Amino acid sequence: MEHRAARGSAHPDFSLGLPVLCMSWAEPRPPRCLRPSGPPINRYSHWSVRDWGAGARAGCLNHRGRATGGVGAGASRRAARRREAQAPVSRRRRVPRAAPPHEVELAPAQPGAERKRRSPQFSPESPPFPPATLEPLKDVHVGLAPPGRDPARLAVLSGHYLYYHYGCDGLDDRGWGCGYRTLQTLCSWPEGRAAGVPGVAAVQAALEDMGDKPPGFRGSRSWIGCVEASLCLDHFGGPQGRLCHVPRGAGLERELERLYSHFAGGGGPVMVGGDADAQSKALLGVCLGPDTEAYVLVLDPHCWGAPKNSTELQTAGWVGWREVSTAFDPNSFYNLCLTSHNAKKQQHALD
């Protein structure tokens, strides 16, 4: 009895104890297949498994025609992994990295309430806008109604400011530029003019030149906070910046009287940033009472789009009154940068 398998069929080889698959070399290879229009993808693309014959019955085929099961599938996968490991780094498959939470979450500080009111044109999923320099809107909080039923004390900033946000100068800085945009808003106070407001590249160059940041910070996507903002305010001759640290777990409830005195005394916008709550924002006012109610007027720079007026920003929630107990994370520490009139700049203007 002859122990050879018939051509084109699998038969156990009793001499070796192993199943053997013998394919006829006379069988034609599948022809090259074309897309409906365009060059061929590969030899097996869009080829019907039913028409392939014995080769197809040896294993299933995916959309590229590789065997995903049956005889030889494991060896094919191992060979592919070896080729991947031996390929140059520039030609290896690149797996997208998981974005840090700050790159993904671009919503206001109250995602549950504010996201419902957001206009579709400000959605983070909207397509990128073409690079263009927008004219910043001025005093976008004007027209907001006071919060609460009957506020006992209310104080907002004096002077004027410009609203800087993601992409307002044609630079796509989503996920890392909120600190720079808040700093630009601070620099535009109290005249509310764009003259003298530094760009993102100028801020990075200044921090690197003064030794606060290491070489290579220029042109990067690294964040900045209140400490860097205070250095840049002094460097570019903007308003004076005074730092205040709020320990972790204390919240901003203990700083409400300080903030009220700041705004009531003619102070400017206050930059806020923390660690667990790393989204930079600006405070424009404080509302206290009645009883234990407390609100802060928040200006959020995470808007992406081209807002036409202040009403759109207020409706979308990028500027508005928020309750202190829900607007800030009690598990995060916070740094504040309180701006006030620059005495040297005022003296120079008088001279």
Q: DSSP readout, 49-63?
A: HHHH-HHHHTS-B-T
Burial (CB < 10 A; 0-12, 13-18, 19+), residue 33, is middle
What are the beta bridge partners of residue 323?
A: 295
Closest by Cα among 270, 275, 280 to 242: 270
Distance CA 143, CA 157 (A): 14
E strand segments, 127-268: 137-138, 153-156, 162-163, 240-246
- Marked catalytic residue, from 141, 165, 262, 302: 302
Whether 302 is catalytic = yes
**Residue 258: count of CB within 10 angstroms of its CB:** 15
Closest by Cα among 53, 15, 269 to 162: 269
- Marked catalytic residue, from 169, 173, 277, 300: 300
**Preceding amide of 290 cis, omega within 30:** yes
Distance CA 291, CA 313 (A): 30
For residue 129, the Cα-to-chain-centroid distance in whole angstroms is: 15
Whether 60 is catalytic = no
Greatest alpha-carbon span in the chain: 116
Closest by Cα among 226, 227, 228 to 217: 228
Whether 300 is catalytic = yes
**Could you list the active site residues?**
178, 300, 302
